Structure 1
């Protein structure tokens, strides 16, 4: 009888055995195809609180009933950052588990005022575009629109567009047209940073504070409203491995040290939505945020690994006190997450409704 656990026998068996692969190759995607991702998450209070606590999103409306009621919610709802991560997580096995760079996400929209614990999430994606990578013959580029839906009712809860590099089954010849110029340059030849002379910070967290700061910047010849947030969050095993797995994100990049040992990062890396949520948590701690509207132009610039500390930087783009509830105004921001070496790792624009200090 064969002893399959004998080390030499087992090594031979591994060499001869076929691998049942997970994930999809570039060639598997067809423009216009809709993919239903199974399973989806049942959104729970404990899951949302784990996500928000670990990423320093401590808005009391998502924790306490009295604060939720004052904000117009029936009970503490699911935080939008967790909803977004829980929508992307189940899509990974079908779309990007094979690996490849996460190139960006656009048109993030939250279509309901509130999503409550107990919601059963169904996720589906439509292939919007596929194209060749001019610089990487082993990869193609795919863009999807992904939707998080209330499974019983079918109502849309959030949507976004995501673009990834995806491995090919067979490499193709390319002209190298997208390769960056990596030739060395003399630092003295680099142009000076094109920054405003004055960077102003708002005096408070309410809509009027952002509006006043923008008006002050406009009155100066060369100024912008931009500031950094004091808090930092060091990535650990919970944020790098546990949080993505809790959203059903099966990407090996976040939990398989052996597979990542010979990758460009050399180790497991943080889920982009953990980095994003941490940076936005820092920003929201300096805002009287009432509702999230959406985000766009989200880009992930470098690896984040265990031991890296994530900080936040914010630039205020616009404050609009126009139509809408009288106690809030709409503010657009640009956020940058950076690490302990002041290296940008995430950036994106975001729009939120910010409470006024007093009603109009």
Structure 2
């Protein structure tokens, strides 16, 4: 009887032998199918991740987020931080990246995220503890091979237990067994009714500066003129290997969509695609470059509308929705924006509402 544990008994590197072995081998799967999730389930995501200044600066540099408070100690002190914090986009991407292996590595459309709230700054050296709770599971009426899962996720400081960031996200997740459906509905299981085209304002205004008063004045002027405060940002950023594969992997995001070109060759995108939080961070960086941002507060109704692949260029468009002078400290007021990222073909790829504290005029 042949001892197959003997390395001399079988030449696994022989092409014909290896091909035959590969056909017989069972694949040790990663990630979970839709059937794994049940409403109310709680998951603790390991191994966690240690936030670093290097990781934060790498993220900021690649995505064009140049706010000095996240680079320099003097600017951080002026902004009321205890030290130089990590950038909130990096924090959010790390918290979500850690969850991918358990929640969405099997693939499926990222339908959206909302209730993104930053509870307190995070600093280099913080070790993350990330947990998720299944909020809802349902069948996709449009895609019988997928289900739809919504999770609440929060990232905490593992040592102190302090909440750092929390959010709710929804994904389509492959089913192990297809469901019986009527085949109706849209990709996101909407009502299938196309919304009416809204009346567009004849005039679009841009603020004259980057401070809170500039946004507030522009809104007052727009209301008087039946206009809207909306403008595009000049900068663009072309997606390269570091953005598409490097940054997601640095956050422990194991989704094959971002780094396995072989698997993605026959996918609808035809190639690896960008991590949504990279696309989002680039668009927000374009917007922040035209703002005197003080602190990030929260995000609502974030959606990812189309694939972003290697070579695509991301631009930003912003609409100002509201200004609240009483929602922040004396040195800042709250502004609510709608941000849209779009590519070189003017196709929207991301949208979301953001509330940030914007510095007042000195």
For the aligned pair, the TM-score class normalised by the smaller chain equals: over 0.9
Q: 2:338 aligns with which of 314, 318, 334?
A: 334
Aligned to 2:191: none
Q: How far off is 1:5 after superposition?
A: 1.1
Determine whether 1:162 maps to 2:142. Answer: no
1:14-42 CA-to-partner distances (Å, cap 9, x unmatched) read: 00000000000000001001000001110
1:59-83 CA-to-partner distances (Å, cap 9, x unmatched) read: 0010011111111112210100000
d(CA) in 1 for partners of 2:80, 2:240? 35
Aligned to 2:132: 125
Aligned to 1:244: 248
d(CA) in 2 for partners of 1:331, 1:25? 40
Q: How far off is 1:176 after superposition?
A: 1.9
For residue 116 of structure 1, give the secondary structure of its aligned residue in structure 2.
coil
d(CA) in 1 for partners of 2:199, 2:102? 42
For residue 235 of structure 2, give the secondary structure of its aligned residue in structure 1.
coil
Q: 1:227 aligns with which of 227, 231, 235?
A: 231
d(CA) in 2 for partners of 1:2, 1:328? 71
d(CA) in 2 for partners of 1:259, 1:77? 37
Aligned to 2:325: 321
d(CA) in 1 for partners of 2:199, 2:247? 38
Deviation larger for 45-54 or 323-332: 323-332
Q: 1:282 aligns with which of 283, 286, 292?
A: 286
For residue 127 of structure 1, give the secondary structure of its aligned residue in structure 2.
strand
Aligned to 2:217: 212
User: Is the Cα–Cα contact under 8 Å of residues 137 and 147 in structure 2 kept in the other structure?
Assistant: yes
Determine whether 1:15 maps to 2:23. Answer: yes
Aligned to 2:78: 70
Q: 2:141 aligns with which of 121, 134, 137?
A: 134
Aligned to 2:42: 34
d(CA) in 1 for partners of 2:327, 2:344? 41
d(CA) in 1 for partners of 2:96, 2:34? 19
d(CA) in 1 for partners of 2:247, 2:331? 35
Aligned to 1:197: 202
For residue 56 of structure 2, give the secondary structure of its aligned residue in structure 1.
helix
For residue 229 of structure 1, give the secondary structure of its aligned residue in structure 2.
strand
Determine whether 1:273 maps to 2:277. Answer: yes
Which contiguous aligned blocks of 4+ residues in structure 1 show a shift greater than 3 angstroms? Answer: 190-193
Q: How far off is 1:191 after superposition?
A: 7.5
d(CA) in 2 for partners of 1:172, 1:268? 28
d(CA) in 2 for partners of 1:323, 1:38? 37
Q: How does 1:87-166 map to 2 (within 5 A)?
A: 87-112=95-120, 114-166=121-173
d(CA) in 2 for partners of 1:323, 1:344? 30
For residue 142 of structure 1, give the secondary structure of its aligned residue in structure 2.
strand
Shift in alpha-carbon separation, 1:68–1:162, aligned structure 2, 3 A? same
Unaligned 5+ segments in structure 1 are 181-189
Deviation larger for 1-10 or 253-262: 1-10
Q: How far off is 1:179 after superposition?
A: 3.6
For residue 230 of structure 1, give the secondary structure of its aligned residue in structure 2.
strand
Determine whether 1:354 maps to 2:345. Answer: no
In the comparison of the two structures, how many residue pairs are matched? 347
User: Is the Cα–Cα contact under 8 Å of residues 327 and 334 in structure 2 kept in the other structure?
Assistant: no
Q: How far off is 1:177 after superposition?
A: 2.6
Q: How does 1:257-272 map to 2 (within 5 A)?
A: 257-272=261-276
Aligned to 1:300: 304
Q: How far off is 1:143 after superposition?
A: 0.1
Aligned to 1:187: none
TM-score, scaled relative to structure 1? 0.95
Shift in alpha-carbon separation, 1:302–1:323, aligned structure 2, 3 A? closer
1:138-173 CA-to-partner distances (Å, cap 9, x unmatched) read: 000000001101111211100000000000000011
